[in-house]
């Protein structure tokens, strides 16, 4: 039996009854069907055969600046129990708070840009919990009470989080200096057998040469999280995502899960993506300059053919409390990769430091007694002359 993907973008909400018995349907992770919890019927999801499109960023930003209508918060009516309610401001998919019926609402009334693609969940809640248990058991300095939490029955929440992706062709002109190391002979004083003697050593110097040039790079699918529910450092470390497996947006995959609107606007998302691109461009310039050290004085980057996508990616999310503080963690719904916040055990860290100091002190005593330290000269090595470059606003489209 097939569940057709006939969602009307102007329809405010969608529910998913089983065609066999009419009961509630939920998407089964890792499959292409909705599973009926009542009769067990697998309601297949009709495959939508369309390509994943890229959209012109410059045109979208211009359209958004011209249309700044205030968003509305649509009321939701549950056909199963008749209740009326509203989701949290950031969500457009979830469950009826009165009977648990999965409901997906259209994003068109809230946000001017709708998701056009998604990655369905590949792992279920049981597998996600196993991944979390492995992760927390590997945290050496976590308190024992926290590790016990991994064996609890705390429910994980499946959420589709909004993301932007950006493609851009960049051309960057730069100026700076190339540093080449050369050696000169200098007289240095060292201690040999408890005596101060003079020796000739090869001492490194750096010769700086002015340089300028241009580098080019095409960036494909620079990913930027568009949710404020989790810290960006957690969202970023959930990568990699198999974005080549994106499928056209289909509300059937959202049934039984939460899904968020984007909270990071398109322009702000591109600002973050541009920082990612600038960091790579900096590395490209250093490679182009060559030599042993590099100084970059100025960079002017021009973007062209810049496009974007708005997609939804799956995570399992939960939080636990320890000593009156909440710690959040998320699990990549495709790969099972776990990232999150964790507490530290002061006692375990103190014990580890004491052991390290004991071994270090023992090693120093042995070297001193054996006389090995007498032939050691502490020589100051020239610092790396490369200077970090702080980018100003990158160029235009």
What's the half-sphere exposure (Cβ side, CA atoms, 13 Å) at 191? 11
CA angle 272, 273, 278 (to 5 degrees): 100
For 349-372, what is each residue's pLDDT tens digit? 565 566 666 666 666 555 555 655
For 247-295, what is each residue's pLDDT tens digit? 999 989 998 898 888 889 999 999 999 999 999 999 999 999 999 999 9
pLDDT value at residue 187: 87
Quote the CA–CA distance of 231 and 312 in Å, as a whole number: 17
pLDDT value at residue 328: 77
Quote the CA–CA distance of 366 and 357 in Å, as a whole number: 14
Quote the CA–CA distance of 253 and 249 in Å, as a whole number: 9
266-289 vs 57-66: helix axis angle to the nearest 10?
150
Higher pLDDT, 233 or 322: 233
209, 385 contact by CB (below 8 A): no
Q: Which of 40-54, 149-163, 275-289, 324-338 is predicted with the least confidence, judged by mean pLDDT?
A: 149-163
Name which of 311, 295, 315, 304 is nearest 386 in CA terms: 295
CA angle 58, 59, 65 (to 5 degrees): 90
Average pLDDT, the chain: 77
The span from the first CA to the last CA of the chain, in angstroms, equals 48
150, 320 contact by CB (below 8 A): no
**Token pair 């209740």 is at which residue?**
83
Quote the CA–CA distance of 366 and 355 in Å, as a whole number: 17
Helices within the chain (DSSP H only): 57-66, 125-137, 144-149, 232-236, 266-289, 346-370
pLDDT value at residue 265: 94
Taking residues 24-49, report their average pLDDT.
83
Taking residues 299-327, report their average pLDDT.
87
pLDDT value at residue 323: 67
> Does pLDDT of 73 surpass 90?
no
Sign of the dihedral defined by the CA atoms of residues 76, 80, 83, 86, in that order: negative
> Does pLDDT of 18 surpass 60?
yes
Secondary structure class of 114 (helix, strand, coil):
coil
**Chain center to CA of 151:** 27
Q: How confident is the model at residue 385 (pLDDT cuts 50, 70, 90)?
A: very low
Q: How confident is the model at residue 22 (pLDDT cuts 50, 70, 90)?
A: confident
Biggest distance spanned by C-alpha atoms of the chain? 95
**Chain center to CA of 359:** 38
The token duo for 198 is 């003079």
Contacts of 349 (CB under 8 A, 6+ apart): 141
> Does pLDDT of 92 surpass 90?
no
């Amino acid at each position: 039996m097939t569940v057709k993907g006939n969602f009307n973008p102007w329809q405010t909400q969608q529910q998913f009854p089983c065609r066999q018995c009419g009961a509630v349907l939920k998407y089964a992770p890792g499959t292409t069907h909705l599973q009926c919890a009542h009769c067990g019927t697998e309601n297949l999801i009709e495959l939508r055969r369309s390509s994943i499109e890229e959209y012109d960023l410059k045109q979208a930003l211009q359209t958004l600046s011209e249309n700044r209508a205030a968003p509305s918060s649509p009321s939701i009516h549950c056909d199963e129990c008749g209740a009326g309610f509203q989701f949290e401001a950031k969500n457009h998919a979830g469950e009826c708070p009165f009977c648990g019926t999965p409901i997906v609402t259209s994003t068109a009334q809230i946000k001017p840009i709708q998701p056009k693609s998604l990655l369905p969940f590949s792992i279920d809640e049981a597998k996600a919990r196993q991944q979390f248990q492995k992760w927390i058991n590997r945290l050496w300095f976590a308190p024992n009470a926290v590790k016990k939490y991994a064996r609890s029955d705390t429910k994980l929440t499946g959420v589709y989080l909004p993301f932007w992706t950006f493609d851009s062709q960049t051309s960057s002109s730069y100026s700076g200096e190339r540093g080449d190391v050369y050696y000169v002979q200098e007289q240095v004083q060292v201690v040999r057998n408890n005596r101060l003697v003079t020796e000739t050593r090869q001492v490194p110097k750096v010769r700086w040469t002015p340089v300028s040039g241009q580098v080019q790079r095409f960036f494909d699918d620079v990913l930027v999280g568009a949710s404020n529910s989790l810290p960006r450092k957690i969202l970023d470390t959930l990568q990699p995502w198999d974005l080549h497996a994106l499928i056209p947006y289909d509300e059937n995959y959202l049934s039984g899960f939460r899904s968020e609107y984007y909270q990071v606007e398109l322009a702000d998302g591109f600002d973050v993506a541009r920082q990612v691109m600038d960091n790579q461009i900096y590395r490209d310039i250093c490679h182009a300059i060559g030599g042993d050290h590099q100084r970059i004085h100025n960079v002017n980057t021009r973007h062209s053919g810049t496009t974007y996508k708005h997609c939804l990616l799956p995570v399992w999310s939960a939080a636990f409390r320890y000593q009156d503080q909440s710690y959040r963690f998320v699990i990549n719904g495709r790969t099972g990769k776990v990232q999150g916040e964790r507490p530290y055990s002061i006692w375990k860290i103190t014990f580890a430091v004491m052991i390290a100091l004991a071994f270090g002190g023992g090693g120093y005593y042995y070297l001193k007694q054996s006389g090995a330290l007498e032939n050691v000269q502490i020589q100051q090595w020239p610092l790396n002359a490369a200077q970090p470059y702080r980018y100003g606003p990158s160029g235009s489209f």
